């Protein structure tokens, strides 16, 4: 090594040449040093960048190049050419590797979308989002139109049903009817109630799909609820010569907080299907307590409800479809007995109660529908009222009731029912006439239809309450729209109670008796 001369001899140690070379190499080395630092900073800030390893390889290459320029300064005074050559060899390797990598990377990099392509894709995505938003708005409009249509259809169908079922209730009070006549009236009533159930199913499904289904839990004696369900289904089962069994396992709470109407609806749907699709054998309703689930709050009971039948069974490939609206499984000849909504509604109601409706079944081996729901344990409520009796009149002075309805058959129905019980009745076909008669004649009670042309029941109710002569008169609001919103609106403006059409005779007389403080006679 000592035989080598410093590189400065090549410059003849001429200061201008030597220092120009030194300064140039120093600036180049400094620039080469800043490039890797900038690349490292960039990669750390943009970790989402593809091919980050290529930036690192390029940085190593640039750093090696900078090191060779530093070495060029060094060998001007120190002839360490072996080190300089080694460093150049390292730089050569880094250069070759980087060059090869670049060549292989270019086709891949070319596939990366250009800014113009990305802008086009973003524009397409924005258009798709706009189209989706417009479609959602159209769907919402269609959904509102569907809800309005169903509400209107419900009103129009309930109005004639009110007359059909109302007059069957009046006719059934006649003790002089022959057995065939009683049977015929019962058949009419059952047909009307079946049609009403179908209307309610369609409305319930619409409410569930629109997210408007509301639950109103209250303390309920579990045994009483299940006994009522069992009594209803036992009659249906016996009509087909089937054995019905209610099986209550040990450990059930005496009372739970639940929406009694909705739970009963689910059980009746499941049991009705079980009876329908079972030709011989038994149908069983079993209710049992389950161990508390992990994380279950204190004061909750996890209950399992099972409906077991020995019917035709359901094939595995049909078991998912039966929970969809308007879908039915099994023999097509059996499908005429319903709309196919019962299981779909039950499935959704159980889900809203915090459970899941499931089925175990096989063709020819019967079916088992079951669901587990957590229900709050409640204090035992007071005993339910005794069985309803048929009233024939009431004690005390005669009462006058004003019947307000724009449909003449509805007024005639109420006139005939109330007249048979000894009431005097007044009639009004609109809100204006109702106000005039109520203020002039002072009836003891007003039965007010909610939906009427002109002044509707809500506005009529407001004006009745605003007038000192009628402010305290009991008013029962009656409507063919059976929604919770309608009931709340009625009560907010001052109605004493709300009844939906078709009006149940026992419900009507219960409210009349409570607000007029009547003692019914039989």
The CATH code of the domain that includes 473 is: 3.40.50.2300
| Residue 162: inside a domain | no
pLDDT digits (tens, 9 = 90+) for 245-270: 999 999 999 999 999 888 998 999 99
What local confidence, expressed as pLDDT, does residue 329 receive? 60
Same structural domain for residues 397 and 460?
Answer: yes
| The last residue of a domain, from among 65, 80, 110 | 110
The count of structural domains within the chain is: 3
CATH number of the domain that 263 lies in? 3.30.565.10
For residues 264 and 319, membership in a common domain is answered with yes
Residue 289 per-residue DSSP state: E
> H or E segment at 194?
helix 179-209
Q: What is the pLDDT of residue 132?
A: 92
Give the model's pLDDT for residue 14.
Answer: 85
Of the listed ranges 125-139, 184-198, 275-289, 495-509, the least confidently predicted one is: 184-198
Choose the final residue of a domain: 110, 128, 161: 110
Q: pLDDT band at 386, cuts 50/70/90?
A: very low
C-alpha to C-alpha distance for 349 and 260, rounded to whole angstroms = 12
Average pLDDT, the chain: 84
Do 342 and 412 reside in the same domain of the chain?
Answer: no
Model confidence at 336: pLDDT above 50: no
| pLDDT reported for residue 170 | 83
What tens digit of pLDDT does each residue of 394-434 get? 998 999 999 999 989 889 999 999 998 999 999 999 999 99
Do 222 and 329 belong to one domain? yes
The secondary structure of 458-473 as a DSSP string is HHHHHHHHHSTTTTTS
Is the pLDDT at 501 greater than 50? The verdict is: yes
Q: Given a cut of 90, is residue 392 above it in pLDDT? A: no
pLDDT at 119: 85
% of the chain surpassing 90 pLDDT: 34
**Which H or E element spans position 493?**
none
Residue 152 lies inside a defined structural domain of this protein: no
Long-range contacts of 66-73, Cβ-Cβ distance < 8 Å, separation of 24 or more = 66/28, 66/29, 66/30, 66/31, 66/32, 66/33, 67/29, 67/91, 69/25, 69/26, 69/28, 69/29, 69/32, 70/25, 70/26, 70/29, 72/7, 72/21, 72/25, 73/21, 73/22, 73/25, 73/26, 73/29
Please write the tens of the pLDDT for every residue from 462-492: 999 999 999 999 999 998 876 778 888 999 9
What is the C-alpha end-to-end distance of the chain, expressed in Å? 133
Residue 436 clears pLDDT 80, i.e. is over it = yes
Return the C-alpha torsion angle 184, 188, 190, 192, nearest 10: 180
What's the angle, vertex CA 467, arms to CA 462 and CA 472, rounded to 5? 85
Same domain, residue pair 228 and 370: yes
Query: According to the model, what pLDDT value does residue 48 have?
Result: 67
Q: Give residue 383's pLDDT.
A: 58
Residue 501 belongs to domain spanning: 393-521
Whether 515 is covered by a domain: the verdict is yes
Position with higher pLDDT, 327 vs 306: 306
Is the pLDDT at 29 greater than 70? The verdict is yes
CA distances from 272 to 285, 331, 336, 442 (A): 11, 17, 14, 48
pLDDT for the residue 120: 85
Q: Is residue 416 part of a domain?
A: yes
258 occurs within a structural domain: yes
Residue 96 lies inside a defined structural domain of this protein: yes
Asked if residue 342 and residue 244 are part of one domain, the reply reads yes
Residue 52 has pLDDT above 70, yes or no: no
pLDDT (0 to 100) of residue 387: 43
Q: Please check whether residue 398 lies inside any domain of the structure.
A: yes
508 and 398 in one domain?
yes
């Amino acid at each position: 090594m000592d035989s080598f001369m410093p590189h400065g001899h090549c410059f003849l140690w001429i200061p201008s040449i030597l220092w120009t070379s030194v300064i140039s190499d120093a600036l180049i080395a400094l620039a080469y040093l800043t490039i890797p630092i900038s690349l490292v900073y960039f990669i750390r800030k943009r970790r989402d960048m593809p091919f980050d390893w290529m930036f690192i390889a390029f940085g190593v290459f640039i750093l090696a190049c900078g090191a060779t320029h530093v070495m060029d300064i060094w060998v001007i005074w120190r002839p360490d050419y072996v080190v300089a050559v080694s460093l150049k060899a390292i730089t050569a390797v880094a250069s070759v590797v980087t060059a090869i990598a670049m060549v292989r990377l270019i086709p891949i990099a070319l596939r990366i979308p250009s800014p113009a392509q990305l802008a086009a894709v973003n524009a397409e995505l924005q258009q798709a989002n706009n189209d989706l938003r417009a479609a959602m708005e159209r769907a919402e409009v269609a959904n509102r139109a569907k809800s309005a249509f169903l509400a209107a259809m419900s009103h129009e169908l309930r109005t004639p049903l009110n007359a059909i079922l109302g007059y069957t209730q009046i006719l059934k009070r006649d003790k002089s009817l022959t057995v065939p006549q009683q049977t015929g009236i019962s058949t009419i009533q059952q047909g009307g109630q079946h049609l009403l159930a179908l209307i309610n199913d369609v409305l319930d499904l619409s409410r569930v799909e629109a997210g408007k289904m509301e639950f109103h839990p209250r303390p309920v004696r579990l045994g009483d609820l299940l006994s009522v369900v069992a009594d209803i289904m036992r009659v249906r089962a016996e009509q087909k010569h089937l054995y019905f069994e209610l099986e209550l396992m040990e450990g059930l709470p005496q009372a739970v907080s639940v929406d009694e109407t909705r739970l009963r609806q689910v059980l009746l749907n499941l049991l009705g299907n079980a009876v329908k699709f079972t030709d011989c054998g038994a149908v069983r309703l079993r209710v049992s307590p389950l161990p508390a689930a992990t994380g279950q709050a204190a004061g909750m009971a996890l209950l399992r409800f099972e409906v077991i039948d020995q019917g035709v069974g359901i094939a595995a490939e049909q078991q998912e479809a039966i929970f969809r609206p308007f879908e039915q499984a099994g023999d097509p000849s059996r499908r005429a007995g319903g709309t196919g909504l019962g299981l779909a509604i039950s499935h959704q109601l159980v889900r809203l109660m915090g459970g899941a409706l499931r089925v175990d079944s096989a063709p020819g081996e019967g079916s088992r529908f079951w669901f587990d729901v957590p229900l709050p344990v409640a204090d035992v409520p007071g005993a339910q009222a005794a069985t309803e009796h048929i009233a024939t009149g009431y004690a005390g002075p005669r009462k006058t009731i004003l019947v307000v309805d724009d449909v003449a058959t509805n007024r005639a129905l109420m006139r005939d029912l109330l007249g048979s019980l000894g009431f005097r009745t007044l009639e009004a076909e609109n809100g204006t006439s109702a106000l005039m008669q109520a203020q002039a004649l002072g009836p003891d009670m007003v039965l007010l239809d909610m939906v009427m042309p002109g002044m509707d029941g809500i506005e009529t109710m407001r004006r009745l309450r605003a007038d000192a002569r009628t402010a305290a008169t009991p008013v029962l609001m009656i409507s063919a729209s059976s929604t919770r919103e309608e009931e709340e609106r009625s009560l907010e403006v001052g109605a004493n109670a709300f009844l939906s059409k078709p009006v149940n005779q026992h419900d009507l007389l219960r409210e009349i008796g409570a607000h007029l403080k009547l003692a019914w006679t039989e």
